[in-house]
Structure 1
Amino acid sequence: MPPSSSYLPPVMKDGEYGKWAELPPDLTSSILQRLGTVDILENAQKVCRSWRRVCKDPSMWRKIDMLNPGDLGSMPYDLEVMCRHAVDRSQGGLLEIDIWYFGTDELLNYIADRSSNLKTLRLIMCYPIADEGFIEAVAKLPLIEYLELSHCAMSGAALRVVGQTCPNLKTLKLSGEPNPDFNEDDLNNDDALAIAETMPGLRHLQVFGNFLTDTGLTAILDGCPHLEHLDLRKCFNVNFSGELAKRCVEKIKVVKRPNDSTAGHPYGNDWFHELNAKYTYGDTESRTMISVTPTMISVTPTTMIGTRC
């Protein structure tokens, strides 16, 4: 649903740009929270003093989204340093964090040491983070309810620790590299068994491109009695038929089968489309995006709504 128009200031006339500095802090915060963390730290907080004050408020940092283009070598800033800075600003109030394309064991533990109230953790293509660092960090995050590990290197052993230390976990999303030409070496139920044996409270489970077999799926159905949504797309080792398929359909409200379309999956063919959509809101016929530079605040497809205040 598009946000209420009352949250957006009117288009200003020439000479009225300074009024941006006069906006109430809560309204300014509402506007700036539509941006990602990189945009806030690199651009928005440099617009004017009043915006910088808002950007320093811990309430601005309940969620940290480190979305970036992924070309780390060409960036003029250090994403890990920036992420640590954002975590520090949250002053222990961080509830949700998304890390894209970068990250280390040290960074993840830095976050965990300062964010014991964290409920949502999303790691996307964070290959440098290994089991050891992940396990150490997740043991400090007992309130996690939503965990996504997409194209990461964590093992079934790490997932088992998640289940043992995060009793509130309701959503788990795993995305890997699908392999339609699998062989016996690809038959692996480690993830599935870890989930089945330690995560009885799961409501939503995605195992996109996983190597689990019918045995692993059966274990999940036995061990996770409250599942409402199950995504098995690209799980080519699962023979989704007969009694197993019937059990899934009868037991679970929403089931996505191994050969179902991947349209809409953020790491499929529409990957970059999904990235671009991260900073948009509204319906498909009327998309609106806020962008900020130190000298201009604009809303597209509408006109510029302000300059340096």
Structure 2
Amino acid sequence: MAEIKSSSRRWEDMETDVLVKIFKELNMIELAPVAQVCHAWRSACSDPLLWNTLDLGLLKSNFIQTRASPYIWVDDRSDRKLMKALRIAMSLSRGAVTCLIFHFNLYMRDEHLSYVAESCPRLRRLVMPAWNRITKNGICHAVRIWEELESLTMPSIAHPSYIMQEISRSCKNFSQLKVMGTFDVNFAFAIATNLPNLRVLSVRCSILTKEALLFILDCMDHLEVLNMSHCLLLENLTPTGKKKVFKELDGNIRDKTARLREFFHCQSSSCIACDRISRDEGLMRWYKYEDWFWREDEISSLALGNYGKLFDESCLDLGFRN
């Protein structure tokens, strides 16, 4: 018995590399109590290998749409649970997160975004949630902290200039942008004016005007990769703003896209995504479709792949149900 006892090892003496491999199979909620076992386990739970990417893509708010700004209501209990989840993640990750993914139907507030920004100052890639409850000051404050930001996926916004201006001032290595929603000439102008060195742009599954497309192709000499797959392509017909859908790219657009290193375009009647964008009249109702559908992109560097293991569905209830 003495020999058996002397040869045994304690769990806390296990090599850190082995612990990290084991903990990679756990989601974030499971990691929280594991980190309380001992100092060695907490250290392994905070290993940067576990936290390069923080994928909260399954974490959604339960909300009610309203007629008054910000057109969304989320109850206080939901906000508190979101902050609790963020505090767990930020405490364990210790600033190691460089890629942060939010669900487009997560309606966070300025205080949530500010807390995340100050806790993840080395962020290089961000997939933004809905804008409804985030103010101009809130997003600009976060962008100023994220000086290393290189890639942003964002819902469309009515007034994009201030965001693009802040990215131009603060994020010198910024090179990739994905817009989900509506991409008109005002959006194109904001990008071309403030981010002339942008190299990768995706407007996949969005409303895209011909004027905006031509403006981007004419003004952005450094653009290398463009994805306009499954878009609802519109063209102005009259000064009153009446538009028509055009089904094929004309020769002028094809000539301009020929200079790009990669160009993705799909308007096929047999394509599921094209059919969905058509039936939704350009404003994709993502909630109707598979949870992975919004994560896809033909540009590999913008595709999100499968969900990470930081959350499972049993951990996602943020409170109020509509």
TM-score range, shorter chain: 0.5 to 0.7
Contact kept in structure 1, 2:175 and 2:199, CA below 8 Å: yes
1:44 aligns to what? 31
CA distance in 1, matches of 2:11, 2:80: 27
SS at match of 2:233: coil
1:76/1:132 Cα in 2 relative to 1: closer, same or farther (>3 Å)?
A: closer
Structure 1 pair 44–112 and aligned structure 2 pair: CA distance change class (3 A): closer
RMSD in angstroms over aligned alpha carbons? 4.0
Closer, same or farther: CA 85–154 of 1 in aligned 2, 3 Å = farther
Give the AA of the match of 2:94: Q
Aligned-partner residue type, residue 229 of structure 1: V
Amino acid in structure 1 at the alignment position of 2:223: L
Aligned-partner Cα distance in 2 for 1:27–1:104: 38
SS in structure 1 of the partner of residue 60 of structure 2? coil
Q: 2:258 matched to 1:271?
A: no
Instruction: Name the counterpart of 1:198.
Output: 194
Distance 1:254 1:137, change over 3 A: same
- Structure 1 residues 246 and 279, CA gap change in structure 2 (3 angstroms): same
TM-score using structure 1 length: 0.66
Tell me the residue number matched to 2:135.
130
Report the CA distance shift for 1:226/1:19 in structure 2 as closer, same or farther (over 3 A): farther
- Structure 1: which 5+ runs fail to align? 1-17, 178-186, 281-289, 294-309
Equivalent residue letter for 1:201: N
Deviation for aligned residue 1:77: 7.6
Which stretch of structure 1 is more off in the superposition, 74-83 or 189-198? 74-83
CA separation in 2, counterparts of 1:144 and 1:76?
Answer: 26
For the pair 1:245 / 2:254, whether they are aligned, the reply is yes
Match of 2:126 in 1: 121
One-letter amino acid of the structure 2 residue matched with residue 222 of structure 1: D
The match for 1:82 is: 85
| 1:254 maps onto 2:270 in alignment | no
CA deviation string 1:140-190 (max 9, x = no partner): 21211111113677734323332343221121111116xxxxxxxxx9322
Alignment correspondent of 2:19: 28
User: C-alpha displacement at 1:109, in angstroms?
Assistant: 1.8
For residues 69-95 of structure 1, what are the alpha-carbon distances to aligned partners after superposition, in whole Å with 9 as ceiling and x for unaligned? Answer: 525489898122221332244333331
C-alpha separation between the residues in 2 aligned to 1:262 and 1:124?
24
Correspondences of 1:9-28 after superposition (within 5 Å): 24-28=15-19
- Match in the other structure for 1:169: 174
CA distance in 2, matches of 1:243, 1:230: 16
The aligned amino acid for 2:88 is H
State the Cα deviation string for residues 86-138 of structure 1 (Å, max 9, x = none): 22443333312112213222221222233332111111345322333112211
Give the gaps of 5 or more residues in structure 2.
1-8, 63-74, 236-245, 277-283, 296-304, 315-322
Tell me how many residue pairs correspond in the alignment: 255
Q: Deviations over 1:212-243 (max 9, x none)?
A: 43332222223332323212232422553121
SS at match of 1:230: strand
For residues 30 and 154 of structure 1, the distance between their equivalents in structure 2, rounded to whole angstroms, comes to: 45
Q: Could you tell me which of 45, 51, 62 is aligned with 1:61?
A: 51
SS where residue 153 of structure 2 aligns? strand
Contact 1:199/1:223 (<8 A) preserved? no
What secondary structure, in the 3-state scheme, does the structure 2 residue paired with 1:148 have?
Answer: strand
**Percent identity among equivalent residues?**
23
| Code of the aligned partner of 2:17 | D
Question: 2:216 is matched with which residue?
Answer: 220
TM-score (norm 2): 0.63
